A and B are shown apart, each in its own frame.
Chain A
Amino acid sequence: MTDPKQPIAWHHVRWLLLSLLLVAAPHALHMPGWSIALMAMLAAWSAYAGYARHALPNRWLLMMIAVATFVGVFVNYRTVFGRDAGVTLLVIMLGLKLLETRTHRDAMLLSFLGYFLVITNFLYSQTIATGLYMLACTVFVTATMMNLNYAGTEPPFRAQLRTAGVLLAQSVPLMLVLFLLFPRVPGPLWGLPRDAFAGVSGLSDTMTPGSLSSLVLSDAVAFRVRFDAQIPRAKDLYWRGPVMWDFDGRTWSAQFFVYTAPGIEAAGDSVAYEVTLEPHNRRWLFALDLPAVVPPRSVVSTDYQLYSIQPVNNRLRYDMTSFLNARFGEVENRFALRRALQVPPRSNPRAQELGRELRQKHADDEQIISEMLSMFRRNFVYTLEPPLLGANPVDEFLFSTRSGFCEHYASSFAVVMRAAGIPTRIVTGYQGGEINALGNYLIVRQADAHAWTEVWLRNRGWVRVDPTFAVAPVRVDTGISAAVSRTDPLPLMVRTPYEFLRQARLAWDTMANAWNQWVLGYTPERQRSLLAQAGLDDATWAKLTAILIAVAGVIVAMFTALALRQLKSRARDPVTIAYRRFCDKLRRRGLTREAAEGPVDYARRVERLRPELTPAVEAITRLYVALRYGAESSAAALIELQRRVRQFPA
C-alpha cells in the first residue's frame, strides 16, 4: 500500500470481489431470495464500475438501498436482530461497502469484514468440511490483503495465494498454543438471539403416532458415549429421555413437575461413562436407566429425567454413572400414582374395555401385563410405515391395523394398563447404539429413538416394560435395521449389508468425534482437565496467562530467528564465495565495489588507484570472469582462484 488514501485499482476490486463472494456463498443457503439477488446485483455493479473505471454510485443512493434492506429484512424476519436477520444484513452491507470502496484504507477494512464474515458461517455449521472451506476462504482474504500492499509488480495469482497460504501456515504453531492455553471463560457473555440454534432435530416433549418413526429416518448423531469399562449388553442400553404422564386420547406429553422424590431401593450394578451430547435445543440430558448422579449445571426430576439448566444448544459433555438394575419408587406419591392412571373417559373406548376385562380376569398385575404382551406377540407387526390412524388411534391400532412402531405399542400398552388400574407412564429416549470399534465408543443416532413404558407394581416400584420387545425382540437385541422389513425406508448407513460403507462411515465418525472433542468441544472444563493431566492442578487465570506468554514468546523468538537467518547472504557457489572474499579484502583497503560495477570495471579502477596490486587483481578477475560467465568450469581453475584470493594481501 503506497498511501492509505490512494485509490484502488481494478485488480484490487477483483480480489476483493472474489474473496468476499467465496466467504458469503454458504450464506445463500439461508438468506431470503430477494437478498441474494440484491447482493448479486451489488457485486456485479461493483465489478462493472471497477472494470470500466466508472464512478461509484453516490452516497445517497447507497443509503437508500441500505434503508430499503433494513425494511426488507424486518418484513422478512420481523426483527433486524437475531442470527438470520443479522447475517442477511451483514452480507448486504458488505455489498454496499464494496460500492463505496475507493481507497486502500476502505479496501483494508473490507478485508477485515471478510474475516468477520468467515466467523458468521460457523453459527450455522462447524463440520470438518465447513472448516476446510473456510480455511480456503481465509487464505483468499489474506491474499487480498497482501494484494493491496504490493507497490509495483505483483507476482502471478497462484503465487500470491501460495504466499498467503505460507503466511497462514507459519501462524499455525502460535495458533495452537493460543487455542490450548488461552484462558477460556464459559459463555455466553450476552443473550443469544432466539433463532441462534434453530433447526436441530431430536426428541420432543410430546408423542403422537408417527412422531418417532419420522425421527428414525434421520441418521444424525444424537450423542456419543465412551464407557470407562466394558460396554453393557444391547438390551441394557435404554437411554432415558422425556417421561410422559399425560394422555389426551391421541398425544402423550411430558411436563416438568416435582413432587416428593421416590427413593432408590436397590442399586445393582453401576456403570460409568462419558456422554457427548449433540445440541438439540431442549433441556433434557440422556443417561442409561437409571441415572445415579446429576451432572453439573443440571437437575434431576422425580421421574428420573435429567434436565440441564440451560437449553442444550452446544455440544455438551458430561460424566455419568448409572445403575443398570435398580429398584426404585416402591414408596410412591399417591398423587403421582393417580396421575399415572388417568385416561380420557370418552377416548379409545374399546382399549379401555379391554383393560377392564383383563382386570376382571386376573387379580395379579403381572399376569395382566404378560397377557397383554403375549397378545402383541401373537399377531402384531412391527413396521416403520404404519397405516394412518384416526380419532381413536389406540382402538384402531389394537383392533384393526395391528401394525405399528414403538410409539404405537408403548401408547396402546399404557392405555390398556391404565384402564386395568396399573399405574403406567411412557418413557421416550434411545435404545441401543452402534459400537465404533475404531474409536471404542458408542454412537447413538436419531434412528435409535425409542419409546417404552414403566408400570408401577406394589413391592417392586417402577418396572420397565418394553412392549416393542414382545413384538420385535431383535429391535432391542440387534438394532433397528434387523427389526424392520427390508422394504421399509431406513437411512442407508443404518442398514448393515453395506459393510464397506458402514466401515467407512465409522472411520469418518471417529474423525468427526475427535473433531468434536478437541476442536469444537474444547471447553473451560476440558482445558482445566488437560492442564491437570500435564501436572498443573490449579490453573488460575493469571497462571495460565503467564504460561501462555512464555510459550508464545519462545515460539515467536524461534520463528523470528528462523526468518532472519534466511536474509543472511548464503552463497552456495564457491566461485561467488571466493570472489566475495576478494572484494571484502579490497573493501578493507578502502576500495569498495560499487553496486553497479562489474568485475572488470572494478579491477580496472583498482589497478588505476593501486598499481602495485595489478598482477594479483588481474589474475583473480580473469579467473572469476572465466568461471562465472565463461565456459570454463575446471576444478583446477577454481582451486587456483581460491588460492590466489587466500594469498591476496588483506
Chain B
Amino acid sequence: MYAALRNRFYTWIFQWRGPEAGAIVLGQRRIFILPTRPGLVYATVLLVMLAGSINYQLGLGFVLTFLLGALGVNAMIHTFRNLANLRITGGRTRPVFAGDTALFTIHLENQGDTDRYAIGLTHDRRRASFVDVIARSAVPATAAVAAPRRGVLRPGRLTLFTRFPLGLYYAWAYVDLDLRCIVYPRPAPPGMPMPPAESIAGAGTERGLGQEDFSGMRQYHRGDSPRHIAWKAAARDQGLLTKQFTGRAETELWLDWAQLPPQMGVEERLSHLARWVLVAHAAGLAYGLRVPGTSVEPAAGESQRDRCLETLALFEHK
C-alpha cells in the first residue's frame, strides 16, 4: 500500500513517462535539485557566522555572511543551469555477451553559450561517468549496465546529475531514452566438438580454410575478414582489396541446433552455438546457422558472425 502510494507520488513528481524516442531537452520540469550534505554544513557555518557577526557587531562580518548566503542561492541557480536545456539523444550501443557490462552511450548537446562541467551519468547511482560539455558542442557519455542474460537489454531510467560549481547542490534529471543493447548468449566453455562440414564428407576444417586456392581479388566490402585483406596491396596504395578463395564455396559448414544432444536445455544450446560461431569465425570459415524457426545462409566475415550471434540472442525473445 505504502509502496504503491510512494510509486504514484514519484511518478507524479518526477514525471516518469516511460521510454521516449528521439531527443530529450532538459526543461525546467525535468530537473530536480536538492542541497547536498556539504550544502547543509555550509548553511550551518553561515548561521554560526551570522551569530558571530551579531555578537561582535562586525559590520564586515555581516557583509561576508550575506555575500556567502547570496553565493549559496547563486550556486543553486548555477547548478540547475548546468543541466538545463541540455539536449540528449541516444547513441549506438555495441552488443555484449551475457555476463559482461553493456556501455550505453548517449549524446549530450550543449546548444548554449556557457560551458558545462562535471555532468555525471549513472544507472545505479553507484558508478558514474563524468563529462564536460563545452559551449556549442556535443559529447558522448556512457552508462555502464550489467547484462546478465541474453536478449535485448534496456537500461531503463538513466540519471544525469551534477554538483557543479560549488558542490552545495545536487541537480538531477531522469532520462528514459529508447535505448537497447543486444546481449549475445555467453559462449560455452570449450568441450563440445564442432559439427562436420556438410557437403564434402570428411573435408573438415583444413579444406575449408582454402588458403592455397587463391582465385583473385575484388574490392573490399564491409564485413570482409581483415585476414583476407591484401595488406601488401594496401601498402602499395592500391586501396583495400579482398583476396578471394574458391575453396570456400565447396565447404558448407552448418551450425545446427539439432546437432547438439537432445537432453540439452535451450540456453545451453545457444551458448554452444555461440561458441561455435566464434570458433568458425576465428578460423575464417564460411558457415550457416540453423535454429528452430530461423536459419542463416552460409557466409563468412564479421557481419555473418554478428548476424548469427544476434539470431541466437533474439531466439524466442519477446
Contact = CB atoms under 8 A, between A and B. Distances in A.
Q: Do A and B originate from a single complex?
A: yes
Interface stretch (B74-82, B196-204, B291-299): B74-82
Contacts of B128: 2-3
Contact of B166 (A3, A142, A519, A592): A142
B11 interface: no
Nearest to B65: A119
Interface string A579-603: 0000000000000101110000000
A122 interface: yes
Given A1-B163, A116-B48, A152 B118 contact: yes
Interface stretch (A57-65, A566-574, A616-624): A566-574
Nearest to B39: A108
Interface stretch (A41-49, A187-195, A353-361): A187-195
Nearest to B118: A151
A188 B85 contact: no
B120 to A, nearest CB: 7
Interface in B44-76: 45, 48-49, 51-71, 73-75
Contact of B61 (A113, A119, A188): A119
Contacts of B112: 566-570
A563 to B, nearest CB: 5
B38 A174 contact: no
Contacts of A4: 36-38
Contacts of A134: 60, 64
A182 interface: yes
Interface stretch (A163-171, A321-329, A363-371, A427-435): A163-171
Contact of A167 (B56, B74, B117): B74
Contact of A175 (B52, B66, B81, B166): B66
A218 interface: no
Nearest to B69: A178
A208 to B, nearest CB: 33
B165 interface: yes
A568 B85 contact: yes
Interface string B21-43: 01100000000000011100110
A77 to B, nearest CB: 18
Contact of A109 (B41, B119, B138): B41
A119 B163 contact: no
A150 interface: yes
Given A172-B70, A566-B112, A596 B77 contact: no
Contact of A196 (B56, B59, B60, B67): B56
B91 interface: yes
A146 interface: yes
Interface in A463-488: none
A400 interface: no
Contacts of B62: 179, 182, 522
A153 B117 CA distance: 9
A362 to B, nearest CB: 55
Contact of B38 (A105, A184, A566): A105
Interface stretch (A123-131, A284-292, A408-416): A123-131
Interface string B199-243: 000000000000000000000000000000000000000000000
B164 A149 contact: yes
A148 interface: yes
B70 A152 contact: no
A2 to B, nearest CB: 6
B63 A519 contact: yes
Given A519-B63, A522-B62, A123 B77 contact: no
Contacts of B61: 119, 122
Contacts of B69: 174-175, 178
A564 B81 contact: yes
A145 B166 contact: yes
A115 interface: yes
A314 interface: yes
B113 A566 contact: yes
Interface in B78-93: 78, 80-81, 84-85, 89, 91
Given A171-B74, A594-B89, A122 B118 contact: no
Nearest to B52: A119
Given A187-B56, A196-B56, A566-B114, A592 B138 contact: no
A559 interface: yes
Contacts of A32: none
B260 interface: no
B222 to A, nearest CB: 15
B164 to A, nearest CB: 5
Interface string B160-172: 0001111100000
B131 interface: yes
Contact of A189 (B51, B65, B67, B111): B51
A249 interface: no
B107 interface: yes
A171 B71 contact: yes
Given A519-B59, A522-B62, A149 B118 contact: yes
Nearest to B112: A567
B315 interface: no
Given A151-B132, A152-B118, A153-B132, A187 B57 contact: yes
Nearest to B88: A595
16 contacts: A1-B167, A2-B128, A108-B41, A118-B64, A145-B166, A149-B118, A149-B164, A149-B167, A151-B131, A152-B118, A168-B67, A171-B73, A519-B60, A559-B74, A592-B23, A596-B91
Interface of A: 1-4, 104-105, 108-109, 112-113, 115-116, 118-119, 122-123, 126, 130-131, 134, 138, 142, 145-146, 148-154, 163, 167-168, 170-175, 178-179, 182, 184-185, 187-190, 192, 196, 314, 519-523, 556, 559-560, 563-564, 566-570, 592, 594-596
Interface of B: 22-23, 36-38, 41-42, 45, 48-49, 51-71, 73-75, 77-78, 80-81, 84-85, 89, 91, 107, 109, 111-114, 117-120, 128, 130-132, 138, 163-167
Enumerate the 5 nearest inter-chain pairs by beta-carbon distance, A residue then B residue, closest first. A520-B59, A151-B118, A151-B130, A171-B70, A174-B70
